[in-house]
Amino acid sequence: MEPAFLGIYKPTPFIGYLLTRYTTTEGNDNMPRKRQSTKSRIVKSAWNLFYKNGYDDTTVEDIITASKTSKGTFYHYFKSKEGLLNTLSYLFDEKYEELYNVVDPNLSSYDKLLFLNHELFYMIETSIDVSLVAYLYSAQLVTKDKRSLSDHKRFYYVWLSEIIQNALDSGEFAPTSSAKDLMDIYAMFERALLYDWSLVKGKFSLTEKSDALLPHVLDAFVNGL
């Protein structure tokens, strides 16, 4: 049976979203506007170059020139070019915040999780070079950035944990595991599939594979682990 979430929201092209996300403000609302616009300009210019020229063929000097900033300004915000990869993780959360405003509140928790996974993976598959996802995962092995993929304070973890807790409270998911344990399993599934997709350089459809496999994970949540 077709999941209820299909067809209710048209995915937003990620590159356009990404390049406009940082045109005005970024981060802490209390940050001075000049600092916001400078960092935003660096991020926008970097991802524009990554998209057009590829990550490997884009240098810090290219980013500095395109963003009309100085070397000192660049290194004030980022320790290296690799540091910009963490802004991709940040933007994943921004995508979830966007979806928060459009997801049908009447969907079951099961279908909400299917919907959110489908939308994010569709965005990644159709708009992000697979090599950049691989770089992101490599960076996460050594990063101490607060926006790292495993940071449980991310909007991703907070919102999805809430969805899972609601499913436990309503009896939709079996009460054999805690919301934290189920959230960890869900996140591990997504990371594992993204890693495998990156490992084979995108040779399979990320969205189709996840659409086929995630229901088995969620069925285990329903039936109990």
Assess whether 92 and 185 both reside in one domain. Answer: yes
Whole-number pLDDT of residue 92: 79
Q: Is the pTM of this model over 0.75?
A: no
The rounded distance, in Å, linking the Cα atoms of 7 and 10 is 7
pLDDT by residue for the chain (225 residues), tens only, comes to 344 444 333 444 444 444 444 444 444 444 334 444 788 789 878 877 887 888 889 999 999 999 999 999 999 999 999 888 777 766 678 788 889 999 999 999 999 999 999 999 998 898 788 888 887 777 667 655 555 677 788 889 999 999 999 999 999 999 999 999 999 999 999 999 999 999 999 999 999 999 999 999 999 999 998
Domain CATH number, residue 32: 1.10.10.60
Assess whether 76 and 170 both reside in one domain. Answer: no
Of 82, 111, 130, the residue at which a domain comes to its end is 82
The rounded distance, in Å, linking the Cα atoms of 139 and 88 is 11
Assess whether 191 and 95 both reside in one domain. Answer: yes
Of 37, 52, 82, the residue at which a domain comes to its end is 82
Whole-number pLDDT of residue 22: 44
Whole-number pLDDT of residue 144: 59
Has residue 3 been placed in a domain?
no
Structural domain for 37, as ranges: 15-82
Has residue 158 been placed in a domain?
yes
Assess whether 117 and 35 both reside in one domain. Answer: no
In which residue are the tokens 């980013």 written?
63
**Burial of 76: CB neighbours in 10 Å, binned 0-12, 13-18, 19+:** middle
For residues 40 and 23, is the Cβ–Cβ distance under 8 A?
A: yes
Whole-number pLDDT of residue 149: 72
Whole-number pLDDT of residue 135: 75
Of 34, 67, 82, the residue at which a domain comes to its end is 82
Has residue 2 been placed in a domain?
no
Assess whether 41 and 99 both reside in one domain. Answer: no
Assess whether 171 and 71 both reside in one domain. Answer: no
Whole-number pLDDT of residue 137: 75
Domain count, the chain: 2
Rounded (5°) CA angle 189-194-199: 125
The rounded distance, in Å, linking the Cα atoms of 85 and 75 is 15
